[in-house]
Amino acid sequence: MRTEARIDLGAIRDNVAALADRAAAGARVMAVVKADGYGHGLVPSARAAVEGGAAWLGVAFLEEALAVRDAGIDVPLLAWLTTPGEDRSAAVAAGVDLGVYDLAQLEESAAAARATGRTARVQLKVDTGLARGGAAVADWPDLCAAAAKAEASGEVSVTGVWSHFAFADGGADHPVNGEQAKVFAQALEVVERAGLRPEVRHLANSAATLTAPATHYDLVRPGLAVYGLSPVPQLGTPEQYGLRPAMTLASTVALTKRVPAGTGVSYLHRYTTERETTLALVPLGYADGVPRSATNLGPVQLGGRRRSVAGTVCMDQFLLDVGDDEVAAGDEVLLFGPGTSGEPTAQDWADALGTINYEIVTRVGARVPRTYA
């Protein structure tokens, strides 16, 4: 093993079970497995989530949905981000629910239904305040009316109505979230008046799943929490929410060498040794998802101690200054994990780099093999 991302599928199962327990009465879990399962592997994560009790799966793109179906996973599945002209027919044939934001997407879904001879399952999205995907509130009545008409023709079935919060880390109390929940409730009245009777209404991301039970409706739609990270680190740790981080990123020291005091280290010499010391070379770089902004900052555990990246993170490698500690080529380096053996967590990386834990796990590169246990 040079480098691997060790994925604890038991943690994913347990996290989904914990989220299902936390969901308000009547609400089930749609586990979000987009972006290669937040870096943990799409199909293995999807399987583990279903084993943990996820009734639905959610992804962004059609090809992600088709990869889930190709793996033989047949639970209800929503894909919510498409561009004009994409092949919706394959998704309709595979029984994938399509997110629909406007009349054009509704019509493309109906066309896919005509092409395949199957009803297109669509889930209408209303923009309640994120100003990203979804129909503007002003356009919502027209979209609902057109969907009702398409449903009457048998071409589409409106299986869901949904929206998404702007303050993923704001906790339950953020006033914008409260405002969005109100707009969603009003949008549901429009749905009702249009004669639509969707199976599922859903709004809650990880943060709302953990902190805002009034927003759970029929489904909660957590992503990050499935992988055991806290979406609201300022409010609670994974442990406090009954979650366990599922990814450990491990590498191996490739080389050590003694260098004198005053040695400039790595590109641009942004680190200089203060005394004679040992440098350890770690074969992992920004092409593998270690941000270059981790230069002189990224925390790692090596030889039972926490250390920081020394100097610039390169494409394939970075260095550590280990002083006079007994460190040798072949020793294991832990970048992050659940934190139970003293190693840093993805949250520690996010805090050190001024980003969010989402970005730390999702950017682990394709060159890093995932191993599953």
Ligand X SMILES: *Cc1c(COP(=O)(O)O)cnc(C)c1O
Instruction: Identify which of residues 170 and 338 has a Cβ nearer to ligand X in the complex.
Output: 170
Q: Given the DSSP bridges, would you call strands 305-310 and 318-323 parallel, antiparallel or unpaired?
A: antiparallel
Instruction: Identify which of residues 122 and 265 has a Cβ nearer to ligand X in the complex.
Output: 122
**Residue 111: how many CA atoms within 13 Å on its side-chain side?**
11
Instruction: Give the residue among 1, 73, 5, 15 at the shortest CA–CA distance from 39.
Output: 5
Instruction: Give the residue among 211, 243, 202 at the shortest CA–CA distance from 58.
Output: 202
Beta bridge partners of 58: 32, 78
Q: Given the DSSP bridges, would you call strands 255-259 and 277-282 parallel, antiparallel or unpaired?
A: antiparallel
Question: Nearest approach, Cβ of 39 to ligand X (angstroms)?
Answer: 12
List active site positions. 34, 267
The tokens for 16 are: 């989904």
With a CB cutoff of 8 Å and minimum separation 6, the contacts of 192 are: none
Q: What is the dihedral of CA 197, 198, 204, 210, to 10 degrees?
A: 80
Question: Nearest approach, Cβ of 167 to ligand X (angstroms)?
Answer: 10
| Alpha helix positions (H), 252-293 | none
Residues that bind ligand X (CB under 6 A): 32, 34, 80, 164, 168, 205-206, 221-224, 231
Question: Nearest approach, Cβ of 225 to ligand X (angstroms)?
Answer: 6
Q: How many residues does the chain have?
A: 373
In order of 21, 81, 178, the CA distances from 181 in angstroms are: 22, 22, 5
CA distance 197 to 193: 10
Question: Nearest approach, Cβ of 205 to ligand X (angstroms)?
Answer: 4
Look up residue 211 and give its amino acid. T
Instruction: Give the residue among 221, 252, 223 at the shortest CA–CA distance from 331.
Output: 252
With a CB cutoff of 8 Å and minimum separation 6, the contacts of 103 are: 142, 143, 146
Beta bridge partners of 318: 282
Question: Nearest approach, Cβ of 232 to ligand X (angstroms)?
Answer: 10
CA distance 49 to 15: 8
Question: Nearest approach, Cβ of 123 to ligand X (angstroms)?
Answer: 11
Instruction: Identify which of residues 13 and 164 has a Cβ nearer to ligand X in the complex.
Output: 164
Instruction: Give the residue among 325, 323, 324 at the shortest CA–CA distance from 310.
Output: 323
Question: Nearest approach, Cβ of 61 to ligand X (angstroms)?
Answer: 11
Instruction: Identify which of residues 40 and 307 has a Cβ nearer to ligand X in the complex.
Output: 40
Q: Which residue in the shown chain puts its C-beta closest to ligand X?
A: 223
